[in-house]
Chain A
Amino acid sequence: MSALTLDTRPSVERPARRRARRRNVIAALLFLSPWIVGFLIFTAWPIFYSAYLSLTNYDVINSPDFVGIENYQRMIEDPKVRLALGNTLLYTLMKVPAYMLLSLALALLLDRAGRASGFFRTVFFLPKMTPPVAVGVLFLLLFNGQSGLVNSVLGWFGINGPSWTTDPAWVKPGLVLMSLWTVGASVIILLTALRDVPKDLYEAARIDGAGFWQQTKSVTLPMISPTLFFLVIVNTIGAFQTFDEAYTAFFGSGNTTYSNDAALFYVIYLFQQAFQFLHMGYASALAWLLFLIIMIITVIQVIVSRRLVHYEGGSR
């Protein structure tokens, strides 16, 4: 009898549990549906469709004409692709370390700012609210080789500043410096991570005689390394997708400057192909190449991070 009871109870409960689980799943999906629908229509579908367009000759106006891998072959021969990739890579290599170092330095200072921290957090974050187009215009004004504020300040120290906006050799360094203007978001994220570092670790380090730099190296950096890793990835992707500021400064309406080659970043070239020259198929192929490059670099970063990033719960 008892055996009979044991056999029948699960068969009664399983369907009920399954029904309850199904109801939960349906409810969850319904609540998520606005996002899911938005994602499918505005993200997944364009990604999927651009993969198809990359195999076509498409001018936006007429029907796409399937050309196979012709666009990808053309990329290999296109010197502007190499130029734009080179510019973008160099910019990324300069920007990401500078951005990370400045973010970390400011976050460490803010962490020690006491009550004033809130005020400075706002001050550092405010430039992030500036529209990128305005930053592009501001770049031309601040970095003007003749009358810009940057060179005026350099002049106080006896430094004859370069022609940031017109000398091709200085265009990218100038844009990197200007990009530091919006470092606030990274500072806030790092500050949050710094605040999460257990204080007893610092106490233990101090008892062991560790100074500021040793505490930073042995406690702070390992403990915030997941956040640093996240920011490196996000900022690398952002640097590869640089567009607004450089386009406004060097390619915007009527801005036929002579430094175009130096400021031709990959996404600017992609935009030109898509909307100026109406080669949407080729532009889609360019977009997929960028996706591939960013994916490879991100994978490399993830692999390297396994040695450098410390997770409290163990390695991930």
Chain B
Amino acid sequence: MKRSIPFAVAAASALLLTSCAVGTGTQNTDDDTEYDPSAELSGELNVMGFGAGDEIAQTRYDLAVDALGEVDVTLIEGDLDMQQFLSSVAAGDPPELLYANRDQIGSLAARGAIIPLDNCIEGEGIDTSQFVESALDQVTFDDSVYGIPEFNVVQLTMANESLLTDAGLTIEDVNGSDWDAVTAAAEALVVNDGGLSVIGVDSKLPEFFPLWAKANGVDLLSEDGRTANLNDPGAVEALEFAVGIYEAQGGFSAVKAYRDSADFFGSGNQYATNVLGSMWMEQWYLNVLNDVSPDAPMAFDTFRTPDGEPLAFASGSAWAIPAGSSNPAAGCRFARVMTEVDSWIAAAQARLDLRNEEGTAFTGVLTGNAVADDQIREMVTSGGEPWDSGVEAMYEANDNTFSLPANPADAEFKTIWQDAVNRVLNGQDDPQTALDAAQEEAQSVLDEAWASMEE
């Protein structure tokens, strides 16, 4: 009897392990659903990662729910919780629809966690030619579209006109079109008398390193998502320059601490209190500034390359259908309605009405849908200068975007280049050493991820 106990434990263990392994089996990514825009749909639609928090979301959500007829829609609100999503996939009970950042799509697609949307796009009649090209690129993996993009985030040059004028500078000196001029402006604008009291220019590292590299002619990742170019001489030069801006102002440590202490979303923000000369920032901050400090002495432009061309590093969200979704047809239609032109126009109208009631300007929305963007641009109302110039710059940036292509190791790739930039910022490495090491690590990770996917 005693001898049989270890055997029984071992047998039970093996059984449990085997049964658990079966329970987390490979998802079926074949999509044989029939997508038909006129079909009557039913069942449930659980949407993970999306919340109808404002009029832009609520208006489109109402239209999407209407289009689903009898389908019972439930929102699992809040930003996508990857742990929650993966657990649901592993348990064989994923949500029917997923709302994710576009830079998460590649990893999820490579692992079969979401299905290709080719049938969905064709069946529901989604016109992908309307989407902003860089947004569509970001959700296209292995020649299939895995996400329906929405929203586009771009960067603008945002500067304090008063500080520029006092220093004899203009927005052209700090928009990135002349790197020597940017460094000179940083030195001219910074005030550091024993302690930093005015930041001259903030190059927004590490997050905007891809923007600086692209401005210098380098894509950090090849178009097919397989080859890293982190230690390309152009990328190294870009990093040296962007880090040098901080060094000209007493080092990144001081700038970052000062930036973190700012009342970023309040009326005492860095521009309103004249403690920041210039930085590059996502376009939504223009609306924040307009709301909380309409009298701030602002000047706007796009980010510009050394050739003077506008450029923006695009990001945004996307709708994806998880593998094992119990109602992909409903998910597809929901995504289609949320991102179609009419829905965006209705949402923009709702915001315009709200702004008119408040007596404030409607500054537009970047939808990720180029056709919708063009029509909404016509609806924009004047808020006077400098805000109109800001809106103009936003649309110009939106027409000149790039993105990092989808790949099976997007989270690791991002961590690797950010860590490399961080090591330079904190003085651990020089740009060449940091990027050489990052290149080796990134290429190894990419090779392994692609090989694992293609096994």
Binding site for B on A (CB under 8 A): 45, 48-49, 52, 57-64, 140, 144-148, 163, 165-168, 253, 256-262, 272, 275-278
Contacts and interface: CB of A to CB of B under 8 A. Distances in A.
A59 B111 contact: yes
A28 B111 CA distance: 47
B426 A276 contact: no
A61 B111 CA distance: 7
B272 interface: no
B113 interface: yes
Contact of B257 (A146, A253, A260, A272): A146
Given A61-B112, A261-B426, A146 B258 contact: yes
B16 A276 contact: no
B235 to A, nearest CB: 18
Contacts of A277: 409, 411-412, 415
A276 B415 contact: yes
A145 B258 CA distance: 8
B257 A61 contact: no
Interface string B237-261: 0000000000000001110111011
Given A147-B261, A260-B422, 14 more contacts: A60-B24, A61-B26, A62-B26, A62-B112, A63-B22, A144-B261, A145-B253, A146-B196, A146-B257, A163-B254, A166-B254, A258-B253, A258-B425, A260-B418
Contacts of A166: 252-254, 256-257, 260
Contacts of B38: none
Contact of B254 (A57, A62, A146): A146
B410 to A, nearest CB: 10
Contacts of B252: 166, 258
Contacts of B26: 61-63
Contacts of A145: 253-254, 257
19 contacts: A49-B16, A59-B111, A61-B111, A61-B112, A61-B113, A62-B112, A63-B21, A145-B254, A163-B254, A165-B256, A165-B260, A166-B253, A168-B426, A168-B428, A257-B422, A258-B253, A261-B423, A275-B83, A278-B111
Interface in B71-108: 79, 82-83, 86-87, 89-90, 107
A60 B86 contact: yes
Given A61-B27, A61-B86, A259 B111 contact: no
Contacts of A260: 418-419, 422
B25 interface: yes
Contact of A144 (B257, B409, B412): B257
A258 B206 contact: yes
Contacts of A144: 257, 260-261
Q: Counting chain B CB atoms within 10 Å of each CB, which of A52, A148, A166 scores highest?
A: A166
B52 interface: no
Contacts, number: 112
A60 to B, nearest CB: 4
Nearest to A143: B257
B89 to A, nearest CB: 6
Interface of B: 13, 16-17, 20-22, 24-27, 79, 82-83, 86-87, 89-90, 107, 111-113, 195-196, 205-207, 252-254, 256-258, 260-261, 323, 409, 411-412, 415, 418-419, 421-423, 425-426, 428, 452
Nearest to B86: A60
A276 B411 contact: yes
A277 B413 CA distance: 10
Nearest to A262: B426
Q: Counting chain A CB atoms within 10 Å of each CB, which of B89, B260, B261 scores highest?
A: B260
A139 B87 CA distance: 31
A249 to B, nearest CB: 11
A258 B82 CA distance: 24
A256 B257 contact: no
Contacts of A258: 205-206, 252-253, 256, 421-422, 425-426
Contact of B422 (A49, A64, A253, A261): A261
B261 A146 contact: yes
A145 B250 CA distance: 14
B256 A257 contact: yes
Nearest to A64: B21
Contacts of B415: 272, 276-277
A275 B86 contact: yes
B195 A146 contact: yes
Would you list the 8 A-B pairs with minimal beta carbon distance, nearest first? Answer: A147-B261, A145-B257, A258-B425, A258-B422, A166-B253, A60-B86, A146-B257, A61-B111
A288 B107 CA distance: 26
Contact of B27 (A57, A62, A256, A262): A62
Contacts of B423: 261
Contacts of B253: 145, 163, 166-167, 258
Contacts of B79: 253
